[in-house]
Amino acid sequence: MADGEIYARLLLRPHYIPDGFYLLDEPFHARTFSTRSYVDDYGNMITFMVAIPEGSRTAYDTEGVVVEEIEFLGQPAFIWENKGVTYFVWQQDGLECSLVANLPINIVVEIANSVSIPKY
């Protein structure tokens, strides 16, 4: 895959965000990753990150929690809850994606199912 194709995939974003949430700031784009954060009027947050895997893996503190491995988009994915926050990590289009939100697991998976490159 050409570099331009890989970098274009950093435009992946969720197309479903629950009612009441709005984009907190402009999405942040760097050379190897992109993030978007959404918030509602009650302080609940959704953070989506997409990154180009470059040999080192992202680390998450999972001490004392049960991490469930599920199949998502035909590949292994990992989901867990800790202190009212749901974490979901998966691979899509050769990139590492993650969603972190203080929402129930089923809503986080629904958001993840909506992730794609925007069509302009």
Q: Which domains are delineated in the chain?
A: 3-113 (3.30.200.100)
Strand duo 75-82 + 85-92: pairing: antiparallel
Q: How does pLDDT run along the chain (120 residues), one tens digit per residue?
A: 445 555 556 678 899 999 999 998 877 777 788 899 999 999 999 999 998 887 666 778 788 899 999 999 999 999 999 999 999 999 998 889 999 999 999 999 999 999 988 776
Task: Single out the residue of 83, 86, 78, 91 nearest to residue 105, CA to CA.
Answer: 86
pLDDT score of 59: 76
Phi-psi region of 17 (alpha: psi -120 to 50; beta: other; left: phi over 0): beta
Q: What is the pLDDT of residue 113?
A: 96
* Cα(110)–Cα(21) distance, integer angstroms: 15
